[in-house]
Amino acid sequence: MPASALDLLSGDAQTFVTKVWASRAHLHRADPERLVALLSLDDVDALLTSSAIRTPSVRLAQDGAVLPESSYTRGATLAGRPLTGLVDPRKVLALFEGGATVVLQGLHRYWEPITRLVAELELELGHPCQANAYLTPPGAQGFAVHSDSHDVFVLQTAGSKQWEVHGPDGVEDALLEPGASMYLPTGTPHAARAQETVSLHVTLGINQLTWRGLVQRSLASLVAAVPDEHLPAGYLEDPAALADELDRRLEALAAEVRGLDASAAVEAEVRRFLTTRSPRLPGGLRDVLAVGDLADDTRLRRRPGHPCVVLPRGDRVEVLLGDRSIDMPAWLRPALDELRARRELTPGDLLDLDPQSRLVLCRRLVREGLLEVVS
């Protein structure tokens, strides 16, 4: 993986800020091997034909219509209990050969290269992200012109696809081949058709956190504290009296709004985001088995896509790890700052701690998933 997820998608962070979020489509070409490594045709083949993948992780569409699940799924039993929605590879392959597009939904939840990319991208952007993939047979089109309610990165990993992108200045065509990525702002109408060969592309959806949402969350407790009393009887005949009372209540609320601590509200927003991500622990089994043998010279590495944000709490600190937070004594802050600043280290590098304390800290952070053992 490149040092920055944005390097793969848009060239660099500055390009992303100045061009990508300037409300227009943006094309970028990267090393094709980097994109193919995210999801190849062989990877999709294995998921569809050699795994127990189930709906809603897979859906099929053809000529603008979503096909019923019953046309490509089957039932089975496991330990005597029924399983439903299992993808039937024979049915899927037959429909694909007949022109249907296969959609792999929620790839960030079960395909490790995408999981890692999405985790890194979420930390760089500060917005929740998701990923789907679209396998389209030669010459076919799965969906008619449509728009999405979130920003989209398109990553072409196999074959080619002709995109029809609608903008304020008309319709533009873009041919995406392996190594190409394209950004589409929220609400951009678009459609795409595979060319002479099969097409495979991944879409990364950016579910934007907005100023409106932040303001609403910051004011939620104040609004919730307003008494949920009935409006007084007779206000239809005397609306001026109701307006006077509403003015009084709004003035009181405005005074409370002016007293809000913006820094505290932002800290709460950071904490909310960095304690609600999905757990991502590739290699966790190996780490649990190795943690008992940790020594001063054991090489450790920050797990990619995992934050380590330290918030002061008096004589304690709260450490945000992405999917949750942990509580630690404040005297560990210098060691935690050292961990935050370095990509790799050994317990022996934590010179502020005695040998036993630094091993205890590192063992815990390996178990918590922040650190991984370098084999």
Secondary structure (DSSP) of 212-265: HHHHHHHHHHHHHTS--PPPPTTTTT-HHHHHHHHHHHHHHHHHHHHT--HHHH
pLDDT, position 11:
57
In the chain, the number of structural domains is 3
**What's the number of CA atoms in the CB half-sphere (13 Å) around residue 304?**
18
Q: How confident is the model at residue 34 (pLDDT cuts 50, 70, 90)?
A: confident
pTM over 0.85: yes
Do 184 and 38 lie in one domain? The reply is yes
174-187 tens-digit pLDDT: 999 998 999 999 99
Which residues, including other chains, have CB under 8 Å from residue 272's CB and lie 6 or more apart? 217
Copy the structure tokens of residue 305: 């896509």
Do 186 and 230 lie in one domain? The reply is no
Q: How confident is the model at residue 35 (pLDDT cuts 50, 70, 90)?
A: confident
Q: Residue 129 sits in which domain range?
A: 5-206
Do 253 and 344 lie in one domain? The reply is no
86-129 tens-digit pLDDT: 999 999 999 999 999 999 999 999 999 999 999 999 999 999 99
- The answer to whether the beta carbons of residues 102 and 44 sit under 8 Å apart is yes
Is residue 276 situated within a structural domain? no
222-236 tens-digit pLDDT: 999 999 999 999 999
Is residue 277 situated within a structural domain? no
Do 187 and 44 lie in one domain? The reply is yes
